């Protein structure tokens, strides 16, 4: 029912405008509480925010009546809205419309979460015991053994602090995402002008214009006029049925959505005082794990089990070696301190082995990519969509606004019986009746409006309606006065199913009504029984001979000419629109209004005009479609436009390039069974005159065939398809709030080019995670192998606890930051999409890990077993053959220097030098191990640094440095790691890390060996390329480049690509499906059109 027809009832029931029911507030007091209120110097100071909130919260009609006529105390009106100059004062008095979510996790809370890791807790406990014993035992205190425990504590805090810092950065990114989700573009009336403001700018008293698909931005009540307004409140109440709003049910709550009709709302509560605001204040900002995170968590658990096994084995072996060395079970404090060191070492191995950086890398990559994608006009609403978009194999896209500019202009017309190949002017009007019918029908049968600022005209609302309003503007006709003068009885809004919209107006001078209808030309023409021709004369049209729902109708005479004209316009890529009207008797009109549907009146119309509207193809779309094809992604156009229009635009976009590409219209598509459609889907390029249910069905069928489907949508009815798709893409400009809520990503500029950027970022995320996985698994396997080999062969502990913690920091937090922030490259769009169940570890990655592992282990084993045999530096030599009792690092044995006699006996040596002979062997061995392990540790770090660079490029790409200077994060991580490594080795901190300063020659050798890993990487890739060129191992290393080919007209494969088996299957299925389809053609009367 139209709100105007309930005007008197609304005024009395809602605002208490009747004198008997009017409750006037006393000045400066709230009418319900009697307490003084804020802003008492302003009219709205007579009503408190608390009383308005209470009325909306309880939906209290009695309380609403007590508040009186709200237009007065809130200084607003349904027609004019508020005074724009009062916005600031209203925000001060009633609050801002900002939603406050539950507080996010603080940095200290994230630190506490990191410390809950069982292995870190064990490490901290053991470090504490080590510190206490080191300080308590005299022999350990003399050697400052307690420093090790303190240093481990400090290292753990650094690891925890960096990890918590990364998590906190992620938390901030997601808070920004949630804040952006809360911002809605809202149409309001202020100072008599219709404006678009962001929802945080709404204030109490604002008049909000509501249309189908809008999300309610605040709490309030409906005010006239409103037309068949139904609200979906299921998000808050759980009730699935839409609620029809009327004088008896006037309350509208934030967070709900308009599913039908249109109207206006007076805002009564904003921000935290709204229903949605209260709900958000109670809910946290928890983020669900994405599929890739869950998959990587499984990988991390598997690696952790291996690490735990190695750690236990190392502890047992080291303990056994200690017992053998001392010839008994440990008894002294010093011996138990050594056992404690073994335990610390084992726990540290587990800490290093657990690749907690894997899920962290996903989080960092997602947070980084989301911010970058926003700059590329992709607003990510659900994290998993980032990953999934990288595997998209099919994109079902709308035409209008996505492939085209959505910049509508009337360029052709049929008017008064004549065809104009230009936009009509007032001089072309045959009579005043035609002129009036056009102007009134266009102005009133529309919710769009134009905003003029600084000589620029901004279009708000449906772009087709805006094109018509611009045509009126060119004629010098203002649409707003026509709307204000019209007495609207009822409306039938446009929908994808109906393809038309109507408005029923009460004639002021007579009891009759006039119905104005506009919509898709062939749909409206089918409902027309006559047309206004030259001179405004009415001519009867012959009835249509076909009763199909949509499609062009066949007839004779003028109808056939009009149908041919519609086809001609559509074949030129024009959107065809018909304007029609009908005079309706009072009794019939009022009966339809009372029943709530005026669809029965949309027959027997009189055609007033046909309009051809041009919407040019976006620049760059054809090239982007070619890029999709090269990337292995099929693009299918799904549009509500005429089939001829759709095919023309598809050719312009280069979607239709082959003679056997298939184009279907909605009726044909709906008439076919799933069994008939499935084999035809690989060839289907265009689905025209489609309904939302058709799009949903198409997406479902494509997913059944194993496709990863991304689908675009802008209307309320597109929500099911957006949810059904693997990735739902809503249009940010022309999309409704309902569509955006159902989507995973919002395309802010409605541009198809932005969609392919989302694909590129999705593939980049997946690739970055693979890079990090490749790097981390190499470090893990090498570190675990070295630790185990050294333990079982009695070589002690080559990498100490602190050194391993530093390695853990490099390979987890820092490497995740470096590799997860790599930017996408154009090469990503020349690869085929990764499959749903494709392994994270590709054959190329396994090959790279194996090569790097062998290279690094060769050097590490050499340091453990062969270094002393070839090095002339005494630091790497075994103990002196003569126990002289004293040893000076980096020099020769003092006895040999003093006596030059290697055969001197112990007594002679002791007598000659007076040294402690008994302590000599232990000191020399410790110093030799210190020198060897220092060089081993430094070289190991440099091999990881260079392997981090190697991991930047997956597959057989040779130029691993490509784009490195464009990634400041990666360069910063490498620089920071290198700087800290120099500090650890060359400063007094070295004693804490159990290393000694290195000579410049040793630094050069370490860097050279590290760089050798890059040389090994390049040589291995060249070898692999050579092997693949000669056909060796080709089955183990599939080509990742996309091979997207189409069968030619004669059924062969075009030059330039090899047809894969899956493509052959799809092609054969298409041929078989066409035969089945042809067999049933007569019975189904299906007309498949081949582009």
Query: pLDDT (tens digit, 9 = 90+) per residue, 405-444?
Result: 888 889 999 988 888 888 888 888 888 888 988 999 999 9
Residues 730, 526: Cα–Cα separation, whole Å = 32
Residues 191, 189: Cα–Cα separation, whole Å = 7
Does 737 score more than 60 pLDDT? yes
HSE (side-chain half, CA atoms, 13 Å) at 822: 33
Which pLDDT score is estimated for 114?
Answer: 72
Both tokens of 636, joined, read 């299918």
- For the ranges 178-182, 716-720, 801-805, 832-836, which has the lowest average pLDDT? 178-182
* Burial class (CB within 10 angstroms; exposed 0-12, middle 13-18, buried 19+) of 487: middle
Both tokens of 397, joined, read 């896209």
Is 370-404+618-760 in CATH node 3.40.50.1000? yes
Highest-confidence segment of 177-191, 346-360, 616-630, 901-915: 616-630
Residues 800, 1031: Cα–Cα separation, whole Å = 46
Classify the phi-psi angles of 68: left when phi > 0, otherwise alpha if psi is within -120 to 50, otherwise beta: left
- For the ranges 355-369, 770-784, 893-907, which has the lowest average pLDDT? 893-907
Q: How many CB atoms lie within 10 A of CB 153?
A: 16
What crossing angle do the helices spanning 801-809 and 333-353 adopt, rounded to 10°? 10
pLDDT band at 1052 (very low <50, low <70, confident <90, very high): very low
CB 39 within 8 A of CB 25: no
- For the ranges 166-180, 251-265, 584-598, 1057-1071, which has the lowest average pLDDT? 1057-1071
Which pLDDT score is estimated for 127?
Answer: 63
Strand intervals (E) in 642-740: 662-665, 684-688, 709-713, 727-731
pTM over 0.85: no
- For the ranges 84-93, 118-127, 367-376, 1053-1062, which has the lowest average pLDDT? 1053-1062
CB 703 within 8 A of CB 691: no
- What CATH number has the domain spanning 100-181+288-369+766-834? 1.20.1110.10
Question: Quick one: what percent of the chain has pLDDT higher than 70?
Answer: 72
Partners of 413 in beta bridges: 420, 611
Both tokens of 1065, joined, read 């299957």
Which pLDDT score is estimated for 131?
Answer: 63
Q: How many CB atoms lie within 10 A of CB 312?
A: 13
Question: Would strands 513-520 and 449-453 be described as parallel, antiparallel, or unpaired?
Answer: unpaired
Which pLDDT score is estimated for 857?
Answer: 93
Q: What's the average model confidence in pLDDT over 92-117? A: 77
Which pLDDT score is estimated for 37?
Answer: 44
CA 555 to chain CA centroid, Å, is: 50
Residue matched to tokens 């029965």: 600
- For the ranges 10-19, 107-116, 579-588, 609-618, which has the lowest average pLDDT? 10-19
- Bigger pLDDT: 878 vs 744: 744
- For the ranges 211-220, 469-478, 640-649, 783-792, which has the lowest average pLDDT? 783-792
Q: Which stretches within 33-85 are classed as H helix?
A: 49-58, 61-66
CB 142 within 8 A of CB 373: no
Mean pLDDT score of the chain, rounded to an integer?
76
Residues 82, 478: Cα–Cα separation, whole Å = 23
- For the ranges 492-501, 669-678, 1012-1021, 1041-1050, which has the lowest average pLDDT? 1041-1050
- Bigger pLDDT: 21 vs 208: 208
Residues carrying an active site annotation: 398
- Give per-residue pLDDT as tens, 615-624: 888 888 899 8
Question: Would strands 662-665 and 684-688 be described as parallel, antiparallel, or unpaired?
Answer: parallel
Does 560 score more than 80 pLDDT? yes
E strand or H helix at 1015: helix 1000-1029
Q: What's the average model confidence in pLDDT over 377-395? A: 85
pLDDT band at 19 (very low <50, low <70, confident <90, very high): very low
Which pLDDT score is estimated for 947?
Answer: 93
Residue matched to tokens 């989080």: 363
pLDDT band at 852 (very low <50, low <70, confident <90, very high): very high
Both tokens of 84, joined, read 């724009």
Does 1053 score more than 60 pLDDT? no
Which pLDDT score is estimated for 135?
Answer: 56
pLDDT band at 298 (very low <50, low <70, confident <90, very high): low
- Give per-residue pLDDT as tens, 212-231: 878 888 888 888 877 778 88
pLDDT band at 986 (very low <50, low <70, confident <90, very high): very high
Distances in Å between the Cα of 664 and the Cα atoms of 496, 636, 642, 962 are 17, 11, 11, 45
Residues 425, 439: Cα–Cα separation, whole Å = 12
409-614: which CATH number, 3.40.50.300, 3.40.228.10, 3.40.190.10, 3.40.1110.10? Answer: 3.40.1110.10
Q: How many CB atoms lie within 10 A of CB 812?
A: 26
Partners of 409 in beta bridges: 614
What radius of gyration do the chain's Cα atoms show?
Answer: 38
Both tokens of 455, joined, read 């000589």
Does 325 score more than 90 pLDDT? no
Which pLDDT score is estimated for 687?
Answer: 92
Q: What's the average model confidence in pLDDT over 685-692? A: 88
Which pLDDT score is estimated for 1038?
Answer: 64
Which pLDDT score is estimated for 945?
Answer: 93
Does 753 score more than 80 pLDDT? yes
Q: Residues 6 or more apart from 686 whose CB is under 8 A from it?
A: 636, 637, 639, 643, 646, 647, 650, 655, 656, 661, 662, 663, 664, 1091
Sequence spans of domains, the chain = 3-99+182-282, 100-181+288-369+766-834, 370-404+618-760, 409-614
- What CATH number has the domain spanning 3-99+182-282? 2.70.150.10
Q: Do domains 3-99+182-282 and 100-181+288-369+766-834 have the same CATH topology?
A: no
């Amino acid at each position: 029912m139209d709100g105007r027809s309930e005007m008197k009832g609304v005024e009395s029931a809602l605002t208490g405008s009747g004198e008997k029911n009017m409750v006037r507030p006393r000045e400066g007091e709230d009418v319900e509480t009697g307490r003084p209120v804020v802003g008492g110097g302003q009219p709205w100071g007579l009503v408190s925010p608390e009383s308005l909130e209470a009325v909306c919260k309880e939906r209290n009609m009695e309380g609403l009546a007590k508040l009186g006529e709200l237009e007065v105390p809130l200084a607003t009106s349904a027609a004019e809205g508020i005074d724009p100059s009062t916005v600031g004062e209203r925000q001060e008095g009633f609050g801002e419309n900002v939603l406050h979510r539950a507080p996010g996790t603080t940095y200290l809370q994230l630190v506490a979460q990191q410390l809950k890791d069982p292995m870190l807790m064990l490490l901290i406990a053991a470090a504490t015991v080590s510190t206490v014993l080191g300080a308590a035992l005299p022999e350990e205190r003399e050697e400052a053994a307690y420093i090790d425990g303190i240093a481990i504590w400090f290292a753990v805090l650094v690891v925890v602090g960096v990890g918590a810092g990364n998590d906190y950065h992620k938390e901030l990114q997601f808070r920004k995402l949630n804040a952006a989700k809360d911002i809605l573009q809202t149409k309001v009336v202020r100072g008599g002008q219709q404006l678009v403001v962001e929802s945080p700018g709404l204030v109490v008293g604002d008049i909000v214009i509501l249309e189908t698909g809008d999300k309610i931005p605040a709490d309030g009540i409906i005010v006239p006029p409103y037309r068949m307004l139904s609200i979906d409140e299921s998000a808050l109440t759980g009730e699935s049925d839409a609620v029809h709003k009327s004088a008896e049910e006037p309350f509208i709550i934030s967070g709900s959505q308009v599913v039908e009709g249109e109207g206006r709302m007076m805002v009564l509560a904003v921000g935290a005082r709204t229903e949605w605001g209260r709900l958000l204040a109670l809910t946290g900002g928890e983020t669900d794990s994405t599929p890739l995170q869950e998959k990587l968590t499984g990988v991390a658990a598997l690696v952790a089990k291996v690490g735990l096994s190695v750690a236990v084995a190392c502890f047992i072996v080291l303990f056994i070696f200690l017992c053998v060395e001392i010839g008994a079970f440990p008894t002294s404090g010093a011996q138990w301190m050594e056992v404690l060191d073994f335990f610390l070492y084992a726990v540290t191995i587990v800490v290093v082995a657990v690749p907690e950086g894997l899920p962290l890398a996903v989080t960092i990559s997602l947070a980084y990519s989301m911010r970058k994608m926003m700059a590329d006009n992709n607003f990510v609403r659900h994290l998993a969509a980032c990953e999934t978009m990288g595997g998209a194999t099919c994109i079902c896209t709308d035409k209008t606004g996505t492939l085209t500019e959505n910049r509508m202009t009337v360029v052709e017309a049929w008017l008064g019986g004549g065809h104009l190949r230009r936009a009509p002017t007032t001089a072309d009007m045959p009579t005043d009746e035609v002129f009036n019918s056009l102007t009134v029908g266009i102005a009133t049968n529309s919710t769009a409006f134009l905003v003029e600022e600084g000589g620029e005209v901004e279009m708000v609302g449906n772009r087709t309606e805006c094109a018509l309003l611009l045509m009126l503007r060119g004629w010098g006709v203002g649409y707003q006065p026509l709307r204000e003068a019209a007495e609207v009885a009822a409306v039938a809004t446009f929908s994808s199913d109906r393809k038309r919209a109507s408005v029923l107006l009460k004639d002021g001078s007579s009891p009759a009504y006039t119905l104005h209808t506009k919509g898709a030309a062939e749909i409206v023409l089918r409902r027309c029984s006559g047309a206004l021709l030259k001179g405004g004369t009415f001519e009867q049209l012959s009835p249509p001979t076909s009763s199909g729902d949509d499609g062009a109708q066949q007839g004779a005479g003028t109808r056939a000419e009009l149908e041919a004209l519609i086809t001609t316009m559509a074949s030129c890529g024009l959107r065809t629109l018909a304007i029609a009207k009908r005079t309706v008797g009072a009794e019939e009109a009022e009966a339809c209004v009372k029943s709530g549907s005026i669809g029965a009146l949309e027959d027997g119309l009189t055609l007033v005009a046909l309009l051809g509207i041009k919407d040019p193809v976006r620049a760059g779309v054809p090239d982007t479609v070619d890029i999709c094809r090269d990337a292995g992604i099929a693009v299918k156009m799904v549009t509500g436009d005429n089939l001829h229009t759709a095919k023309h635009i598809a050719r312009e976009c280069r979607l239709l390039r082959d003679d056997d590409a298939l184009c279907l219209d909605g009726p044909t598509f709906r008439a076919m069974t799933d069994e008939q459609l499935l084999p035809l889907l690989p060839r289907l390029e265009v689905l025209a005159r489609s309904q939302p249910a058709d799009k949903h069905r198409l997406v479902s069928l494509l997913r059944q065939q194993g496709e990863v489907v991304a689908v675009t949508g802008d209307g309320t009815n597109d929500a099911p398809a957006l949810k059904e798709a693997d990735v739902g893409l809503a249009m940010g400009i022309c999309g409704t709030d309902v569509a955006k809520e159902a989507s995973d990503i919002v395309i802010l500029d409605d541009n198809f080019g932005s969609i392919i950027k989302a694909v590129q970022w999705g593939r980049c995320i997946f690739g970055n995670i693979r890079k990090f996985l490749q790097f981390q698994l190499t470090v893990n396997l090498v570190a675990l192998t070295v630790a185990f080999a050294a333990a079982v062969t009695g070589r002690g502990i080559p990498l100490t606890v602190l050194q391993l913690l530093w390695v853990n920091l490099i390979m987890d937090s820092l490497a995740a930051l470096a590799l997860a922030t790599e930017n996408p490259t154009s090469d990503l769009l020349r690869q085929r999409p990764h499959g749903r169940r494709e392994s994270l570890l590709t054959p190329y990655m396994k090959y790279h890990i194996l090569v790097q592992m062998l290279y690094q282990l060769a050097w590490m084993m050499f340091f453990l077993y062969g270094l002393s045999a070839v090095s002339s530096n005494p630091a790497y030599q075994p103990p002196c053959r003569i126990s002289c009792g004293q040893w000076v690092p980096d020099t020769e044995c003092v006895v040999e220097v003093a006596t030059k006699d290697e055969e001197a006996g112990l007594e002679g040596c002791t007598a000659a030098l007076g040294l402690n002979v008994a302590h000599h062997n232990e000191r020399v061995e410790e110093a030799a191990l210190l020198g060897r392990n220092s060089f081993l540790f430094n070289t190991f770090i440099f091999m990881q640094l260079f392997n981090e660079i190697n991991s930047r490029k997956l597959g057989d790409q040779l130029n691993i440095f490509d784009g490195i200077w464009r990634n400041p994060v990666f360069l910063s991580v490498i620089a920071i790691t290198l700087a800290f490594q120099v500090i650890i080795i060359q400063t007094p901190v070295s004693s804490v890390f159990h290393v000694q300063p290195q000579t410049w020659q040793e630094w050069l050798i370490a860097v050279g060996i590290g760089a050798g890993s890059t040389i090994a990487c390049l040589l291995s890739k060249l070898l692999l390329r050579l092997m693949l060129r000669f056909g060796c191992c080709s089955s183990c290393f599939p080509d990742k480049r996309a091979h997207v080919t189409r069968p030619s007209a004669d059924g062969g494969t075009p030059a330039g690509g090899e047809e894969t088996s899956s493509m052959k299957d799809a092609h054969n299925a298409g041929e078989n499906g066409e035969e089945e389809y042809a067999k049933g053609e007569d019975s189904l009367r299906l007309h498949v059109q081949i582009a």
